[in-house]
Structure 1
Amino acid sequence: MFFDYAYDYIIRFIHVTPKTPSFGTMPLWKLMFSLSNASVHEEIVSRIMLIGIPLLLIDVFRRRKIKIRKYFLGGDFDIDPGSLFLMIFSSLIFSSAHVFGWDFYKILPVFAT
């Protein structure tokens, strides 16, 4: 949270006006649907499809014996170079997805968190 506030302060200090979605003009049902839909997509796309499934395929290829549910629910993994690459790649894709609604200034704080 400190990073977000510091980053926002620096952005405003250099006279960049961040573009934010117009949450105040949306009907409540649309706002609630959008926010809940975004969090579900975050978990499914960013975590399962971009990290879990590739790790499953890599480990099947390497013939490791890890329970399949761990690839979808997480836990009991070492962070090896392949896992680290997938986490960074997933974070980059996830932060890039925020550009359309929030603008480019949102990439760094979303990537970092």
Structure 2
Amino acid sequence: MGKLIAIAALLLVLGVIPTSLALILDWQPEGDSPGVWFQRSGSILVVFSVLADAILASLFTSLFPGSQTVVLTDDDAVSLKPLYTIVSIFAVVFTVVGTVIWGYGDLLL
């Protein structure tokens, strides 16, 4: 379970890199403005964030079982709950931010 949360966190980091580079570097193709390139990078952030969220969703019932769920005792699940929550929050925030950048990034710069 811990490895899957780490993979989800890595996907979030990989999604943020192109968006950050689009803000810092002047690497867009000739004819595109920096705003348009920043806008395009938002789609990459959304894709990686959704993938991370899908991984996290697959772990949800294992870490947060309902009252009708049969659970095998697993001490690791208890220790992973805070990490799971933090990475989940970032996945949702990055999905929203990436979508805003994707739609309005050229207007934000």
Structure-2-length-normalised TM-score: 0.34
Greater relative CO, 1 or 2 (CA 8 Å, sep 6+): 2
